[in-house]
């Protein structure tokens, strides 16, 4: 193979490099010692995207959103973002519980959602885009990093969103602190935990160990309405660590679903009441495939073609 490479004409190599960088390119929008915001461009039908990563974990995209229009570099105006779609499969998977919540009608109160680990609010703003105020009344986006929140406002359109949609509330604090401040119970229909540990803790990269503690999980469960759902994004380094995570979840929740992506495993934990038992997994799949939001916008039916949804119990 090396011999073949040596025989390639230099002009061909130069042409290949030119075509590669013409089809796939990135532009650094902002960078410091900790984070990098970048725009990625793809030849063909794919939209350009804006994302940010922590410099010590370049392989993990923290938030990513499609861009409709990028202003000139000399312009002070912000890009026009496409909030109708999601770039990351894990965010799409975390939308699945919306097909499984009890049906809402005109007499029902609007949904209340909390997203712990909101990042640049790609997922929260996607949900607010597709659900009317009478359907989704309030969304708490919890992000402890002041730097991330500033990036979200400056480079991801979150500052504009806060001015135009009063349903969105950003809380700059740890998820554990946010839950501890919530009074009473039965507050949220859906709670999403999408928090990275930063450094691997005994092979578990997400969520942080504190969010697997029984006291945190009990508090989260109390804050769910009857039949509400806690969705947890889990990243581990081996099946052994995944078993340990499941054991901790099983100390508080008795049933749910598990969706296995190539890197992430998402758990959907049900706040069941009395002796109620969940329906068969095929029924959950049917609900996903019959949902207009899931099939047209979250595109979870495509995920089901590639990854497996299974029943879960401790």
| CATH code of the domain covering residue 129 | 3.40.50.150
Q: Give tens-digit pLDDT for 256-290.
A: 999 999 999 999 999 986 656 666 899 999 999 99
- Are both 130 and 9 inside the same structural domain? no
What lies within 8 Å, CB to CB, of 112 at 6+ separation is: 137, 138, 139, 140, 187, 188, 189
Nearest to 140 by CA among 178, 176, 172, 169: 169
- Are both 280 and 299 inside the same structural domain? yes
- Are both 57 and 117 inside the same structural domain? no
pLDDT at 175: 97
Domain tally for the chain? 2
pLDDT at 1: 41
Structure tokens at 230: 């806690």
Rounded Cα–Cα distance for residues 220 and 95 (Å): 18
Please give the sequence-ordered ranges of beta strands (E in DSSP) within 43-167, or none if there are none.
49-54, 61-69, 80-82, 111-116, 136-142
- Give the structural domain span for 30: 2-82
- Are both 68 and 96 inside the same structural domain? no
Token look-up 């997400």 returns 206
Q: Indicate whether 2 pLDDT > 50.
A: no
Model confidence, pTM: 0.89
- Are both 127 and 144 inside the same structural domain? yes
- Are both 46 and 95 inside the same structural domain? no
Rounded Cα–Cα distance for residues 78 and 65 (Å): 14
Nearest to 142 by CA among 164, 126, 124: 124
- Are both 129 and 194 inside the same structural domain? yes
How many Cα neighbours within 13 Å face the side chain of 52? 25
- Are both 123 and 198 inside the same structural domain? yes
pLDDT at 52: 94
What lies within 8 Å, CB to CB, of 10 at 6+ separation is: none
pLDDT at 4: 44
pLDDT at 44: 65
Q: Indicate whether 241 pLDDT > 90.
A: yes
- Are both 145 and 241 inside the same structural domain? yes
- Which residue among 82, 111, 141 closes a domain? 82
What's the chain's average pLDDT? 90
Q: Indicate whether 22 pLDDT > 60.
A: no
pLDDT at 195: 97
- Are both 160 and 24 inside the same structural domain? no
pLDDT at 304: 97
Nearest to 175 by CA among 196, 189, 156: 196
What lies within 8 Å, CB to CB, of 14 at 6+ separation is: none
Cα end-to-end span (Å), the chain: 51
Return the minimum-mean-pLDDT range out of 184-193, 268-277, 302-311: 268-277
- Are both 54 and 180 inside the same structural domain? no
Q: Give tens-digit pLDDT for 42-96.
A: 876 678 999 999 998 888 899 999 999 887 766 667 889 999 999 999 999 999 9
- Which residue among 82, 107, 124 closes a domain? 82
The one-character DSSP state at 294 is: I
Q: Give tens-digit pLDDT for 81-138.
A: 999 999 999 999 999 999 999 887 777 899 999 999 999 999 999 999 999 999 999 9
Task: Name residue 231's beta-bridge partners.
Answer: 192, 268
- Are both 76 and 148 inside the same structural domain? no
How many residues comprise the chain? 314
Q: Indicate whether 303 pLDDT > 90.
A: yes
- Which residue among 82, 97, 118 closes a domain? 82
How sure is the predictor about 234, in pLDDT bands with cuts at 50, 70 and 90? very high
Mean pLDDT of 209-233: 97
């Amino acid at each position: 193979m090396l011999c073949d490479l040596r025989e390639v004409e230099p002009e061909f190599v130069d042409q290949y490099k030119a075509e590669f960088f013409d089809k796939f390119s990135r532009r650094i929008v902002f960078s410091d010692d900790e984070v990098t915001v970048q725009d990625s461009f793809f030849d063909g039908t794919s939209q350009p995207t804006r994302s940010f990563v922590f410099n010590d974990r370049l392989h993990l995209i923290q938030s990513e959103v499609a861009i409709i229009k990028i202003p000139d570099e000399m312009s002070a105006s912000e890009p026009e973002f496409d909030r109708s779609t999601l770039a990351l499969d894990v965010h799409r998977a975390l939308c699945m519980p919306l097909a499984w919540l009890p049906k809402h009608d005109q007499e029902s109160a609007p949904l209340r959602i909390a997203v712990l680990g909101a990042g640049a609010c790609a997922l929260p703003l996607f949900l607010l885009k597709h659900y009317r105020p009478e359907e989704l009344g309030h969304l708490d986006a919890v992000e402890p990093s002041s730097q991330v929140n500033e990036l979200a406002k400056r480079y991801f359109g979150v500052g504009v969103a806060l001015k135009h949609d009063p349903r969105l509330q950003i809380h700059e604090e740890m998820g554990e602190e946010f839950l501890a401040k919530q009074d009473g119970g039965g507050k949220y229909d859906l709670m999403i935990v999408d928090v990275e540990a930063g450094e691997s803790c005994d092979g578990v990269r997400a969520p942080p160990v504190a969010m697997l503690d029984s006291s945190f999980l009990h508090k989260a469960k109390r804050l769910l309405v009857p039949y509400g759902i806690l969705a947890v994004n889990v990243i581990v380094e081996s099946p052994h660590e995944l078993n340990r995570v499941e054991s901790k979840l099983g100390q508080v929740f008795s049933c749910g679903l598990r969706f296995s992506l190539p890197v992430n495993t998402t758990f959907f934990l049900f706040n069941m009441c009395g002796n109620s038992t969940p329906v068969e997994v095929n029924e959950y799949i049917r609900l996903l495939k019959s949902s207009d939001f899931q099939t047209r916008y979250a595109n979870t039916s495509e995920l089901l073609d590639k990854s497996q949804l299974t029943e879960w119990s401790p």
